[in-house]
Structure 1
Amino acid sequence: MTTAKTKQKILQTFLDLLSDHPYEDVSLPLVAEKAKIKLSDMRGAYGSKLDLVAAFAESVDKTVLDERDEDMHDQPPRDRLFDVLMSRIDALDGHKDAVRALHRAARKDPALALDFNRLEVRSQKWMLIAAGIDVSGLKAGIVAQGLSVAFARVVGVWLDEDDEGMPRTMARLDKELDSGSAFMKRLNGIEGFAKGMRSFLRKASAGRRGRRRQSQDDGDHEPDYSSEEPAGA
């Protein structure tokens, strides 16, 4: 069984290789060779390059969750989310070249972009949790997807920014969150309308069933002639 230490060594080797090579050129045998491990250990740790990308995303998630600022709990949701996403940028900072390689690969390969998007949506659900923003069900998936797209735009700016203060990155995040706030208002309005329609349809359906039952009861009722006198009596 592959140890946690070996898995971490493999992941770090993968990220180091991405810093100098395109994603498509980094093969599992190359990672194993550079990490100085057997292919069987490679197989036991990660079954594909996508598994390595998933492990990277998970490690970033953990860093953000561990370093969450508890003093932000009384701040507005938008401010908490801004803080969490900037923490995510900070967590990515030591792997900027690797992130750049992943972004380039996604732009060239739509199928790979979909795979990466699925991983990012999962991560953004955790970022929402870290920010104390409670969304669930179908709405959680919609919000996390929107946040994934927005964060990808922010990362695109960050990759081209050299200023350590990251003014352009923060300005872009501000802009994306403003757009997201407007989207959430529309989504809440749609959700409220949908709930109202579901309630109306349930009541209408219940009313139809009640009328059908009443009609059946009336049709099944036999007239009682026992108290009537015979004709001609």
Structure 2
Amino acid sequence: MATAKTKQKILQTFLDLLADHPYEDVSLPLIAETAKVKLSDMRSAYSSKLKLVAAFLEKIDTAVLDERDEDMGDQPPRDRLFDILMTRIDALAGHKEAVRALHRAAAGDPALALDLNSLEVRSQKWMLIAAGIDVSGVKATIVAQGLAIAFGRVVGVWLDEEDEGMPRTMARLDRELDKGSDFMKRLKGVEGIAKGVRSFLKKASRGGKRWKDRRGEHDADAGYEDEAPAGA
């Protein structure tokens, strides 16, 4: 069983290798050899490269949640989310080349892109929670998916930006959040329609039941009338 220290060492080795090699060239045996751990420990700690990526994103999630600015609580949701996502960029900064390798790999491998998207959606759900934006159920997945796509575009700009002040990255995040705000308004409109449809169907169902009950009573009365002549 790999210890927490061994797992941390393997993860850091993976990120270091990604900074210098394409994702597809970083194999589990290479990671184990570079980290100087046995393959059995490698297997116990991380059974696949995707598990390593998941651990990396969880590490970033934790860093963002720990750095969350409690004083932003009275700010509008959009401003809180902007702050959280820029904090996420800051957390990624120490692993910029590893992130670049992951983005390049995903661009050339649709299956990997889908796997990474699933992990990113999970992370973005936590970013929404950190920003104090209350969404749940199917809506949470829809919003997190949209946010994952938007954040991917922002990261694409960030990877090519050399200015430490990140003006282009922040401008792109502003634009993406503006689009997201419009999407949320449309989503609320769709929700309103859906609630209206559900209410109508519920009422129709109750009305149908009453109609069936009345029809049953009518049929019962008709039955008695049909039987009367026979008993005479």
Short-chain TM bin = over 0.9
Distance 2:214 2:45 in 1: 66
Counterpart check, 1:15 vs 2:10: no
AA partner of residue 197 (structure 1): V
Counterpart check, 1:95 vs 2:86: no
Distance 2:164 2:68 in 1: 21
Structure 1 position 213, deviation (Å): 1.2
What SS class does the counterpart of residue 91 from structure 2 fall into? helix
The aligned counterpart of 1:39 is 39
Structure 1 position 7, deviation (Å): 0.3
Corresponding pairs, count: 227
The aligned counterpart of 2:69 is 69
Distance 1:186 1:163 in 2: 35
What SS class does the counterpart of residue 116 from structure 2 fall into? helix
Structure 1 position 120, deviation (Å): 0.1
Alignment RMSD (CA, Å): 1.4
AA partner of residue 219 (structure 2): G
The aligned counterpart of 2:211 is 211
AA partner of residue 66 (structure 1): D
**Structure ranking higher in helix proportion:** 2
Please list every run of 5 or more consecutive structure 1 residues that lacks an aligned counterpart in the other structure: none
Distance 1:217 1:4 in 2: 72
Counterpart check, 1:133 vs 2:133: yes
Distance 1:176 1:149 in 2: 9
Structure 1 position 216, deviation (Å): 0.6
Distance 2:55 2:170 in 1: 26
AA partner of residue 109 (structure 2): D
The aligned counterpart of 1:4 is 4
AA partner of residue 76 (structure 1): P
AA partner of residue 64 (structure 1): V
Distance 1:157 1:13 in 2: 26
Please list every run of 5 or more consecutive structure 2 residues that lacks an aligned counterpart in the other structure: none
Counterpart check, 1:107 vs 2:95: no
Q: Percent identity?
A: 76
Structure 1 position 138, deviation (Å): 0.8
Moved over 4 A (4+): none
Distance 2:4 2:83 in 1: 30
AA partner of residue 175 (structure 2): K
The aligned counterpart of 1:180 is 180
Residues 82-116 of structure 1 show CA distances to partners (whole Å, capped at 9, x for unaligned) of: 00000000000000000000000000000100000
Structure 1 position 217, deviation (Å): 1.6
The aligned counterpart of 1:201 is 201
Structure 1 position 218, deviation (Å): 1.7
Residues 103-134 of structure 1 show CA distances to partners (whole Å, capped at 9, x for unaligned) of: 00000000100000000000000000000000
Structure 1 position 63, deviation (Å): 0.3
What SS class does the counterpart of residue 190 from structure 2 fall into? helix
AA partner of residue 32 (structure 1): A
Residues 149-191 of structure 1 show CA distances to partners (whole Å, capped at 9, x for unaligned) of: 0000000000000100000000000000000000000000001
What SS class does the counterpart of residue 68 from structure 2 fall into? coil
AA partner of residue 108 (structure 2): K
Structure 1 position 31, deviation (Å): 0.2
AA partner of residue 187 (structure 2): L
When Rg is computed on C-alpha atoms for both structures, the one with the higher figure is 1
What SS class does the counterpart of residue 73 from structure 1 fall into? helix
What SS class does the counterpart of residue 183 from structure 2 fall into? helix
Distance 1:3 1:132 in 2: 34
